């Protein structure tokens, strides 16, 4: 939730000289901004399009260790991600929550022993008490107070060990399995979130530490003084106005675009590998069409591959694919072939008959791959974070995962601190991310109604829900749903424009809410998004013509993003 208006943020960017400027408003850049500011740096962060509009809105929304990385024996990475998973549940309990995952065996299938072995390792690596590292035990003691004999908090979430459950229990957890008469299933736990809301929440905390942050600001070049980075040249995308942001340190957190800032410096000096993106596609369908309840299910998808079906915002989220991608990166459209592949894998496992007409939304993101020439041997480097320091002093951070954003940010800011010879330990492991709502924050909702809205507000906004409901209380029209059949309400549009920098219908539908990928067929016409455009227009001072053109721009954006495969067919 931002304090500065766009006008004031722009003025501050132009006038102030910062310690640090961060380029890129995905989870990595947001994390760096929060970490640096909480260690006492003055920080600016600029994003070309919208917060999280890159890969950070296109993930599978899991905060996880990554069971599949165990196959490559990336034990350190899995362990690190599992520790971060634990921490995220503690720091943002309203936004990062555990979900049961099932690996069912059907018919004559034997339980896959390799999965059992992998899950045993996953259990061991997720353990923070017994078997916890000395450093972690020290941290736990430090958090409770030195010399304290107080026991660790029993309320702390710790995943249960995996176990095998009988078929009936599996079918209770995932109703879509019932008709298949499953023999048994492995049950383990991982966590889920809303990737965009995670980014916005991190930025909201950064704002409290005085970070100046703005979207619609593209970095065009590095400014150098005496060979050293001294800030960035920018262009405000709407007005085209060019200006400079002065800063002693420049952090490049532009994800798959990392080699577009100073390409010669990045490739020649740091030997950052040239990346060959691979596309990961996801679709959502109604739980009426594939009822997976509140548990996730791992689904075989041929050739030893698996996909998953996850419960998310009341829908079933199915993903993901992994295919070479050569298109442009600003709008990554899910291919029809990928959508059909996901639906066909689900159909053959669950014996369903899902087609593109059942899809309630689709999206795709790209992972960076090191191309070895042989596509079958391409190495997925996206999970491994790398920090590059080049001759100008610019720090470029690439790779990693949504889950490990905090560690990546720490890595960057540790290097800043080290090269300045300062002593400033990282604080983000102890900084709550947002505040969970309590019952009084949601008291404005009837005790016996609005269950879906109550759940949604708690998850998405935590304590800030009270503010949204206050606005809705002042104007009843704001309690109306943005899209029929979905719980999101029009008051959220106002909040998005007033406190979260949203500037377009797409910002609201694709990122502040996720309706664009949850209810795409309901948002096919200008009329269907009219109320969103009108509320944005009233808040941002648009003319009637601008309101109309923003509704139309949504249709173009939705088509470019390919969120509605049935409409595209």
| Interacting span for ligand FAD (CB under 6 A) from 23-31, 124-132, 351-359, 553-561 | 23-31
Taking the C-alpha atoms of residue 221 and residue 69, their distance in angstroms, rounded to an integer, is: 36
334 touches ligand FAD by CB under 6 A: no
59 touches ligand FAD by CB under 6 A: yes
Minimum CB separation of residue 146 from ligand FAD in Å reads 34
Report residue 313: phi and psi, to 5°. 50, 40
Nearer to ligand FAD (CB atom), residue 248 or residue 320: 320
250 touches ligand FAD by CB under 6 A: no
Minimum CB separation of residue 410 from ligand FAD in Å reads 14
487 touches ligand FAD by CB under 6 A: no
By C-alpha distance, which of 548, 543, 545 is closest to 533?
548
Which DSSP state fits 147? T
403 touches ligand FAD by CB under 6 A: yes
Taking the C-alpha atoms of residue 433 and residue 418, their distance in angstroms, rounded to an integer, is: 26
Nearer to ligand FAD (CB atom), residue 106 or residue 198: 198
85 touches ligand FAD by CB under 6 A: no
| Interacting span for ligand FAD (CB under 6 A) from 157-165, 170-178, 401-409, 520-528 | 401-409
- The angle subtended at Cα 331 by Cα 555 and Cα 508, nearest 5°, is 50
Nearer to ligand FAD (CB atom), residue 184 or residue 561: 561
Minimum CB separation of residue 174 from ligand FAD in Å reads 19
Minimum CB separation of residue 397 from ligand FAD in Å reads 7
Q: Hey, which residues between 262 and 281 contact ligand FAD (CB under 6 A)?
A: 280
Minimum CB separation of residue 53 from ligand FAD in Å reads 5
**Of these, 62, 115, 212, 295, which contacts ligand FAD (CB under 6 A)?**
62
386, β-bridge pairs: 398
What's the token pair of residue 162?
């995996």
**Does residue 556 contact residue 547 with C-beta atoms inside 8 Å?**
no
**Of these, 2, 18, 28, 106, which contacts ligand FAD (CB under 6 A)?**
28
The helix (run of H) or strand (run of E) holding residue 388 is strand 386-389
By C-alpha distance, which of 329, 322, 324 is closest to 277?
324
Minimum CB separation of residue 500 from ligand FAD in Å reads 15
29 touches ligand FAD by CB under 6 A: yes
**Of these, 2, 18, 41, 257, which contacts ligand FAD (CB under 6 A)?**
257
Q: Hey, which residues between 173 and 232 contact ligand FAD (CB under 6 A)?
A: 218-219
56 touches ligand FAD by CB under 6 A: yes
Count, residues near ligand FAD per rule CB under 6 A: 39
396, β-bridge pairs: 252, 388
**Of these, 2, 41, 44, 54, which contacts ligand FAD (CB under 6 A)?**
54
Q: If you write DSSP's letter for every residue of 203-253 in order, what string do you get?
A: HHHHHHTT-EEEESEEEEEEEEETTEEEEEEEEETTT--EEEEEEEEEEE-
CA dihedral 450, 452, 454, 455 (to 10 degrees): 160
**Of these, 1, 34, 41, 48, which contacts ligand FAD (CB under 6 A)?**
48
**Does residue 116 contact residue 186 with C-beta atoms inside 8 Å?**
yes
Taking the C-alpha atoms of residue 332 and residue 320, their distance in angstroms, rounded to an integer, is: 14
Minimum CB separation of residue 382 from ligand FAD in Å reads 6
Nearer to ligand FAD (CB atom), residue 330 or residue 348: 330
Taking the C-alpha atoms of residue 220 and residue 23, their distance in angstroms, rounded to an integer, is: 10
Would you put residue 393 in left (φ > 0), alpha (ψ -120 to 50) or beta? left
In the chain the first and final C-alpha atoms are separated, in Å, by 39
Neighbours of 223 (CB within 10 A): 18
508 touches ligand FAD by CB under 6 A: no
- Helix 544-561, helix 530-540: angle, nearest 10: 130
46 touches ligand FAD by CB under 6 A: yes
**Of these, 320, 335, 390, 501, which contacts ligand FAD (CB under 6 A)?**
320
**Does residue 171 contact residue 93 with C-beta atoms inside 8 Å?**
no
Taking the C-alpha atoms of residue 128 and residue 149, their distance in angstroms, rounded to an integer, is: 18
Nearer to ligand FAD (CB atom), residue 333 or residue 534: 333
255 touches ligand FAD by CB under 6 A: yes
**Of these, 25, 65, 462, 516, which contacts ligand FAD (CB under 6 A)?**
25
Nearer to ligand FAD (CB atom), residue 366 or residue 468: 366
**Of these, 24, 159, 231, 531, which contacts ligand FAD (CB under 6 A)?**
24
251 touches ligand FAD by CB under 6 A: no
**Of these, 10, 23, 457, 490, which contacts ligand FAD (CB under 6 A)?**
23
**Of these, 201, 254, 504, 528, which contacts ligand FAD (CB under 6 A)?**
254
493 touches ligand FAD by CB under 6 A: no
**SS3 per residue for 335-368:** CHHHHHHHHHHHHHHHCCCCCHHHEEEEEEEEEC
95 touches ligand FAD by CB under 6 A: no
38 touches ligand FAD by CB under 6 A: no
Q: If you write DSSP's letter for every residue of 167-186 in order, what string do you get?
A: HHHHHHHSGGGGGG---EEE
**Of these, 65, 167, 365, 531, which contacts ligand FAD (CB under 6 A)?**
365
**Does residue 512 contact residue 490 with C-beta atoms inside 8 Å?**
no
Q: Is the dihedral of CA 510, 513, 519, 523 positive or negative?
A: negative
Q: Hey, which residues between 283 and 302 contact ligand FAD (CB under 6 A)?
A: none
Taking the C-alpha atoms of residue 359 and residue 518, their distance in angstroms, rounded to an integer, is: 9
389 by Cβ neighbours in 10 Å (0-12 / 13-18 / 19+) ranks as middle
**Look-up: residue for tokens 């708690």?**
458
Binding mask 371-400 for ligand FAD (x = CB under 6 A): -----------x-----------------x
Contacts with ligand FAD by CB under 6 A lie at: 23-29, 46-49, 53-56, 58-62, 64, 218-219, 253-257, 261, 280, 320, 365-367, 382, 400-403
């Amino acid at each position: 939730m931002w304090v500065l208006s766009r006008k004031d943020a722009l003025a501050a960017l132009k006038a102030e000289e910062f310690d640090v400027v961060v380029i890129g408003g995905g989870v990595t850049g947001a994390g760096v901004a929060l970490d640096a500011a909480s260690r006492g740096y003055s920080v600016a962060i600029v994003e070309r399009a919208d917060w999280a509009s890159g890969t950070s809105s296109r993930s599978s929304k899991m905060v996880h260790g990554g069971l599949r990385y165990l196959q490559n024996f990336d034990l350190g990475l899995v362990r690190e991600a599992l520790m971060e998973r634990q921490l995220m549940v503690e720091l943002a309990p309203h936004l990062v929550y555990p979900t049961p995952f099932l690996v069912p065996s059907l018919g004559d299938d034997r339980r896959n022993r390799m999965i059992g072995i992998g899950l045993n390792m996953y259990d061991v690596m997720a353990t923070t008490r017994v078997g916890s590292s000395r450093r972690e035990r020290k941290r736990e003691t430090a958090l409770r107070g030195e010399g304290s004999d107080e026991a660790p908090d029993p309320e702390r979430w710790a995943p249960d060990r995996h176990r095998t459950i009988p078929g009936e229990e599996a079918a209770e957890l995932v109703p879509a399995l019932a008709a298949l008469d499953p023999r048994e299933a492995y049950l383990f736990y991982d966590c889920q979130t809303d990737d965009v809301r995670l980014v916005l929440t991190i930025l909201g905390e950064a704002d409290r530490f005085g970070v100046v942050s703005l979207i619609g600001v593209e970095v065009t070049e590095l400014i150098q003084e005496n060979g050293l980075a001294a800030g960035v040249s920018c262009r405000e995308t709407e007005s085209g106005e060019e200006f400079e942001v002065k800063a002693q340190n420049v952090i490049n957190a532009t994800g798959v675009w990392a080699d577009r800032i100073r390409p010669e410096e990045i490739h020649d000096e740091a030997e950052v590998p040239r990346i060959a993106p691979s596309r990961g596609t996801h679709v959502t369908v109604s739980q009426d069409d594939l009822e997976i309840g509140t548990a996730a299910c791992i689904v075989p998808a041929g050739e030893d591959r698996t996909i998953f079906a996850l419960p998310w915002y009341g829908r079933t989220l199915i993903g993901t694919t992994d295919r070479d991608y050569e298109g442009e990166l600003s709008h990554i459209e899910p291919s029809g072939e990928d959508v059909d592949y996901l639906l066909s894998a689900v159909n053959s496992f669950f014996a369903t008959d899902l087609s593109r007409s059942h899809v309630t939304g689709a999206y795709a993101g790209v992972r960076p791959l090191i191309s070895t020439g042989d596509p079958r041997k391409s190495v997925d480097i996206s999970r491994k974070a790398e920090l590059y320091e080049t001759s100008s002093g610019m720090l470029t951070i690439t790779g990693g995962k949504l889950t490990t954003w905090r560690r990546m940010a720490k890595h960057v800011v540790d290097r800043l601190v080290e090269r300045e010879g300062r002593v400033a330990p990282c604080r983000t492991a102890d900084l709550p991310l947002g505040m969970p709502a309590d019952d009084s924050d949601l008291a404005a909702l009837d005790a016996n109604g609005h269950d879906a809205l109550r759940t949604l507000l708690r998850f998405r906004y935590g304590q800030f829900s009270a503010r949204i409901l206050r606005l809705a209380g002042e104007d009843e029209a704001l309690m109306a749903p943005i899209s029929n059949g979905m719980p999101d309400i029009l008051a959220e549009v106002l909040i998005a424009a007033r406190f979260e920098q949203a500037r377009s219908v797409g910002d609201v539908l694709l990122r502040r809410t996720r309706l664009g990928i949850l209810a795409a067929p309901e948002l096919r016409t200008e009329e269907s998004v009219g109320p969103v455009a009108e509320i944005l227009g009233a808040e941002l001072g648009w003319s009637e013509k601008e309101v109309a053109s923003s509704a139309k721009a949504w249709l173009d954006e939705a088509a470019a993003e390919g969120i509605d495969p049935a409409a595209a067919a």
